[in-house]
């Protein structure tokens, strides 16, 4: 059976990471491993992961790098190098997976394609309540989410809808890179290695995931939608420092005009 590695990126937010790992513990498909990709968190996060690792029915590892600012591309590459899984799912440490999340990615995975999923955004006040009261939103029913929508705790119910797995519909926009984000993205590990993972020249917040997707498309790996099949529940957080976003936008524009497939500074260094 295909081995799956779930890479969870985090930085100094153990309460949100705990909610995500609770979701991991309730997966209907337990034939996967978790690699927590830690971009320099303090010791509290390491202790939290150790605690969950003892409870998990699957392997859980902690891959850490020193805190030198926002380096999501680098820590995801380190995590990618640390697993031998056949298939990789990326989520963020504030994106809670429902029980069927891994099973849905496994069911939809297909050679020659990567999967781009969607997320349900929670408001600031509701996110704070979820973390403070440790609400098990990963186990909530549609009735619970309807009530949350009535209370204004979420803005949209659309990401929770389920669509039939019609391949033609999921493959309708095979060349689309916009909107595909590593808060809910999966791909074959050999395809990720072929493009040399994420480009670590992107530092600071933003667009390193878009660059990855563009290079996957250029390598002949197409975009298959996992929307309305594998959502995550995205906890609110303050905006990250965007001081390097203009530089990253310029880098992405250059990538769109370029022809290269492999990241110049990527996973091969690990």
Task: Tell me the pLDDT band of 257, cut-offs 50, 70 and 90.
Answer: confident
- Whose structure tokens read 């797995």? 165
Residue 190, pLDDT score: 98
H or E element in which residue 4 lies = strand 4-10
Mean pLDDT of the chain, nearest integer = 92
Cα–Cα distances in angstroms (integers) from residue 99 to residues 49, 55, 102, 117, 181, in the given order? 20, 16, 8, 15, 21
Beta strands in 117-267 (DSSP E): 119-121, 184-188, 222-225, 232-234
Residue 249, pLDDT score: 74
Tokens representing residue 104 in the block: 């849905």
Task: Tell me the pLDDT band of 1, cut-offs 50, 70 and 90.
Answer: confident
Task: Tell me the pLDDT band of 242, cut-offs 50, 70 and 90.
Answer: low
Q: Which of 213, 190, 205, 204 is nearest to 261 (CA)?
A: 213
Could you report the per-residue pLDDT of 176-210, keeping only the tens digit for each? Answer: 887 788 899 999 999 999 999 999 987 766 678 88
Q: Is the pLDDT of residue 138 over 90?
A: yes
Residue 244, pLDDT score: 61
The domain ranges of the chain are: 4-269
One of 3.30.750.24, 1.10.287.370, 3.90.550.10, 3.40.50.300 is the CATH number of 4-269, namely 3.90.550.10
The residues, any chain, with a CB within 8 Å of residue 141's CB and separated by 6 or more, are none
Residue 12, pLDDT score: 96
Could you report the per-residue pLDDT of 30-83, keeping only the tens digit for each? Answer: 999 999 999 999 999 999 999 999 999 999 999 999 998 889 999 999 999 999
pTM for the whole thing? 0.94
Could you report the per-residue pLDDT of 214-239, keeping only the tens digit for each? Answer: 999 999 999 999 999 999 999 997 66
């Amino acid at each position: 059976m295909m081995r799956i590695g779930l890479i969870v990126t985090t930085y100094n937010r153990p309460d949100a990471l705990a909610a995500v790992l609770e979701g991991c513990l309730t997966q209907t498909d337990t034939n996967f491993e978790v690699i927590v990709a830690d971009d320099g968190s303090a010791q509290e996060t390491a202790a939290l992961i150790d605690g969950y690792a003892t409870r998990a029915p699957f392997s859980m590892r902690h891959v850490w790098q020193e805190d030198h600012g926002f380096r999501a591309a680098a820590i995801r590459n380190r995590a990618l190098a640390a697993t031998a899984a056949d298939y990789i799912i990326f989520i963020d440490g504030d994106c809670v997976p429902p029980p069927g999340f891994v099973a849905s990615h496994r069911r939809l995975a297909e050679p020659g394609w990567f999967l781009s999923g969607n997320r349900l955004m929670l408001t600031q006040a509701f996110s704070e309540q979820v973390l403070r009261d440790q609400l098990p939103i990963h186990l909530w029913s549609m009735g619970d989410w309807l009530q949350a929508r009535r209370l204004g705790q979420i803005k949209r119910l659309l990401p929770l809808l389920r669509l039939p797995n019609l391949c033609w519909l999921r493959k309708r926009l095979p060349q689309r890179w916009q909107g595909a984000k590593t808060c809910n993205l999966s791909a074959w590990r050999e395809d990720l290695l072929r493009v040399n993972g994420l480009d670590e020249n992107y530092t600071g917040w933003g667009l390193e995931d878009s660059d990855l997707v563009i290079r996957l498309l250029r390598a002949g790996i197409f975009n298959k939608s996992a929307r309305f099949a594998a959502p995550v529940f995205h906890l609110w957080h303050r905006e990250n420092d965007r001081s390097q976003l203009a530089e990253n936008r310029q880098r992405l524009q250059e990538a769109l005009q370029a022809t290269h497939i492999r990241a110049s500074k990527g996973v091969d260094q690990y």
